Amino acid sequence: MSSSPATPQNNTGTPPRRRALPVVDPDRCTGCGWCVAVCGPHVLSLSTPDPGGRKQSVLHDAEACTGCALCAVRCPFDAIAMARKEGPLTLPA
């Protein structure tokens, strides 16, 4: 008999996917790069969304994000919040 805690399962027999993903507030992000530097799976990057604009942090690979929240903890400007996502991950087109 296993001593591990029970994991809720969906009707397919697999545990439901529950994770938190970083959401960057573009008004607070300064493009300093601290979040990119601390990201172990390298799913954050700096980009310039507007031509001639300033750099901002962007989540470029949500599927590979572990939800560890190190980026949010490290951000000195409180520009990153972790948002809980449930079910399969889908990104807006």
- Tell me the one-letter amino acid at 11: N
Whether residue 8 lies inside any domain: the answer is no
Question: How many domains would you assign to the chain?
Answer: 1
Q: What is the predicted pLDDT for the residue at 86?
A: 67
Whether residue 3 lies inside any domain: the answer is no
The sign of the torsion formed by the CA atoms of 23, 25, 28, 34 equals positive
Q: How many residues does the chain have?
A: 93
CATH number, domain with residue 48: 3.30.70.20
Q: What is the predicted pLDDT for the residue at 5?
A: 42
| Domain coverage including residue 54 | 29-83
Q: What is the predicted pLDDT for the residue at 37?
A: 97
Report the candidate in 78, 73, 93 with the shortest Cα–Cα distance to residue 28: 78
Whether residue 4 lies inside any domain: the answer is no
Whether residue 55 lies inside any domain: the answer is yes
Q: What is the predicted pLDDT for the residue at 85?
A: 76
| pLDDT tens for each residue of the chain, 93 residues long | 444 444 444 455 554 455 899 999 999 999 999 999 999 999 999 999 788 888 999 999 999 999 999 999 999 999 999 999 765 555 444
DSSP 8-state code for residue 22: E
pTM for the model:
0.70
Cβ neighbours around 43 below 10 Å, total: 19
